[in-house]
Amino acid sequence: MTNHTPTPLAAALVVAFIALMSSCGSVKHREMLMLQDIQSQLSAIDTFPALKIQTDDILNIHVTSKSEEAIRAFQSQQIQSFAGSGETALGVLEGYRVDEGGYIYMPYLGKIKATGKTVFQLRQEIQSDLVSFFADATVQIRFQNFRVTMIGEFTRPNTYTIPNEHLNILEAVGMAGDFTPYARRNNVLVIRERNQVREFGRINTQDTSLFNSPYFYLRPNDVVYVEPLKAKEFATQGDFWSRYANAMFPIVSLVTFVLGIAITR
């Protein structure tokens, strides 16, 4: 009577096959790490990049004064600007839209050139001009349309409105709930449009070189896209091994049995 007990070679083939199948869709630990080469480093930040006003920006310009006339005039202008800006769907409640020529229009002051200036520069200019009409007038300005869109392999992909003028890529990733396990962290795409020019930049969040990238600090209306790793192709099929393990086990057993017979003959 022939002994059909599987040989060590057959058993090794089965183990290798199972290991191969179980590795499908897996993500290596190193692929999930960020800033892999960072060490104890200190680097000084001289200045944040100056954010200049451009065409189609929406500016929140808040004027305060003891004069009720001034308050009524500027509140009314904000609402009118909002009504004609077409920004309702994007969550902008009020603001002054910078027109195609780069101007905004304000009560008492009329047409004001805004493009190419920082909000600080524009605030100083408006406040300086307003004191001729209202000696106690003060002005505050901020961007209403500083929003970034995070799409692809994020836990919470969405469009986010930013309350300040400075947002870096790491803060944006955190805001979107971090990467998913299948995110390609070393090739993050930033799509940027400024002054009717579209540009594309790549960031490697696994390398400290990202701190020197011109795309480290995000700008209004930037779109950040993270593509999936190839491993997700297996995962999106419902985890191949866990789904088909029960169905394939008899096949593996049969293959083992046949190999055992073939080798012992």
In the block, residue with structure tokens 């020197």? 212
pLDDT grade, residue 86 (50/70/90)?
very low
The reported pLDDT for the residue numbered 73 is 74
Q: Give 85's pLDDT tier (boundaries 50, 70, 90).
A: very low
pLDDT of residue 92: 39
Mean pLDDT of 15-43: 52
pLDDT attached to residue 48: 64
CATH class of 58-143: alpha beta
Q: What is the pTM of this model?
A: 0.61
Dihedral angle, C-alpha 194, 197, 198, 200, nearest 10 °:
-80
Angle at 99 between CA 94 and CA 104, to 5 degrees: 65
Question: What pLDDT is stored for residue 24 in this prediction?
Answer: 52
CATH of domain 19-37+146-265: 3.10.560.10
Q: Is 253 left (phi over 0), alpha (psi -120 to 50) or beta?
A: alpha
What is the Cα–Cα distance from 171 to 168, expressed in whole angstroms? 5
In the chain, the amino acid numbered 257 is F
Quick check: 165 and 186 in contact, CB under 8 A?
A: no
Give the residue-averaged pLDDT of 115-138: 91
Structure tokens at 261: 């017979």
**Sequence ranges of the domains in the chain:** 19-37+146-265, 58-143
